[in-house]
Structure 1
């Protein structure tokens, strides 16, 4: 069954219980509107504990997952849908779980010779004395080990900033990552189906690319094409492709790479369900390549439908 089939019915799974719920609702509504514009019978489904049952009752052909964060982007809902025999967009269980876990992603990077910043992982609160004994070199980034949308992240320039930042990060996760901070341009590269989208260089007007700068219109400048050299851009693209393929990502992904003062690229993270809001980067990059928002949604859905026909799980 293809998108042009008059019988195709799609459930857009949105909302959820993670700290990124509000962004998911924006993504879901944008996707829902796009599907209707291209003639698809699409219905919204709130991603609560009864989500799979509601999807079954809706009698849809496929689910467009518009969830971000825990339970939606980490393989949980993907596994539930697979057990129910319901096709869905995007990456499968394993790729979703690995990409959501920043440490697992780093392990994959290192196994494939992709540079990624050094880190320390904590699974419980530690004392300031223990922190000092570890000997963390400044500056560092303190972040929840699982999650996205830059929620709970702090860049620490001084030792005394670290402990409060750890406490803050533990509000969003049971594990916290202390990561070497790399200074330099932040590049993001999206992949949709088999299409590599143009690199975008991200330049916040104030501070770093946190939640507010990410989702506040006008707070960040986006350079397309990126201001870095084409050689560096190509290195970042190759790095992104390596990680995307190593994780087994499907449908779409958006990765972030930082270029240091020596023009060395460092892989930071990969998102398997990038945001699809009016300020989101995947639609910006797609538009630069001549792909409209509706066209982008259609590509993601078509890729998933083709995999379903071939009998390949998400």
Structure 2
């Protein structure tokens, strides 16, 4: 019987959803016959793991220090196999500008954008509306703001608490399409129709705040293209295990009929409202089967 330490919590802005993911995965693994130790990760995590001596770590951490290569590097040093992507892929995916550059080199369409410093914004920097403002390295839409053409707002009006630099991108009109990748195959695509302004943190983790259309109502060719781009993004970053790619499908603007890659998430949520379990379920893979597969796929990079 494998002993699995489920790493959750931590101290990022996504602590709450990480706890929900971790507890759900721990329960599913217990049902599948694994010995499970839930671990609320603190800065003494190396000492904690040396005491409990797990065979595998199920990484259910979200946000900084959990999906950006830090915890992965620690587990590499300790020598404990862990789930999801390794050090480099995690770091690349979490750094939005770097990931966008790699996507562009691989021929994956991305939104135009630029990095602005806090000082440049203070000095009056502008960007043509509509646009999206994002932290460089946060997940779950934390800190994301959309400024539409008709709104009397500017970059200078936005509060900012996520470092000295921000990513500003051209807003892509259209539909929200998300694709799950498992190993070397894309499982399927779901369309998200948020009831609010966009698919923000609240819509992602509050029941009834977004409509999920599974499978995404696309033509056969469009559906295949969404899956192709997600798998290519997964491979371009060097991901392993499970990932989820977020795309915009422009069916209204000048680029009608075109997909744009927003980001690839190497630590997708595993809550009752999360998309990867939903997509996997539509493919005939139960939640217990999914988390068991993730554990059996665990490894170190070296």
Q: The TM-score by the shorter chain falls in which range?
A: over 0.9
Q: Secondary structure of 1:126's partner?
A: helix
Match of 1:148 among 139, 154, 157: 139
The whole-number CA distance in structure 2 between the counterparts of 1:285 and 1:165 is 38
Q: Secondary structure of 1:199's partner?
A: strand
Q: What do the CA deviations read for 1:242-285 (whole angstroms, capped 9, x no partner)?
A: 11101100001000111113101111100000000111001110
Report the alpha carbon displacement of residue 101 of structure 1 after superposing the two structures with TM: 0.7
- 1:103 maps to which residue? 97
Report the alpha carbon displacement of residue 9 of structure 1 after superposing the two structures with TM: 0.4
Q: Secondary structure of 1:277's partner?
A: coil
Contact 1:9 1:60 (8 Å CA) reproduced: yes
The whole-number CA distance in structure 1 between the counterparts of 2:117 and 2:50 is 37
List runs of 5+ in structure 2 lacking aligned partners. none
List runs of 5+ in structure 1 lacking aligned partners. 1-5
Report the alpha carbon displacement of residue 162 of structure 1 after superposing the two structures with TM: 3.0
**Counterpart check, 1:137 vs 2:128:** yes
Q: What do the CA deviations read for 1:102-122 (whole angstroms, capped 9, x no partner)?
A: 101100011111110011112
Report the alpha carbon displacement of residue 42 of structure 1 after superposing the two structures with TM: 0.6
Q: What do the CA deviations read for 1:54-95 (whole angstroms, capped 9, x no partner)?
A: 011101111000000000000000001101111111101000
Q: What do the CA deviations read for 1:116-151 (whole angstroms, capped 9, x no partner)?
A: 00111124343455313xxx1110011111111111
Q: Secondary structure of 2:291's partner?
A: helix
- 2:148 maps to which residue? 157
TM-score by length of 1: 0.91
The whole-number CA distance in structure 1 between the counterparts of 2:157 and 2:46 is 37
Q: Secondary structure of 2:76's partner?
A: helix
- 2:291 maps to which residue? 297
Write the mapping of 1:1-314 to structure 2, written as runs, cut at 5 A.
6=1, 8-127=2-121, 129-132=123-126, 136-158=127-149, 160-163=152-155, 166-167=158-159, 170-261=160-251, 262-304=256-298, 308=299, 313=301
**Number of residue equivalences:** 297
Change (3 A) 1:225 1:243: same
The whole-number CA distance in structure 2 between the counterparts of 1:164 and 1:39 is 54
TM-score by length of 2: 0.94
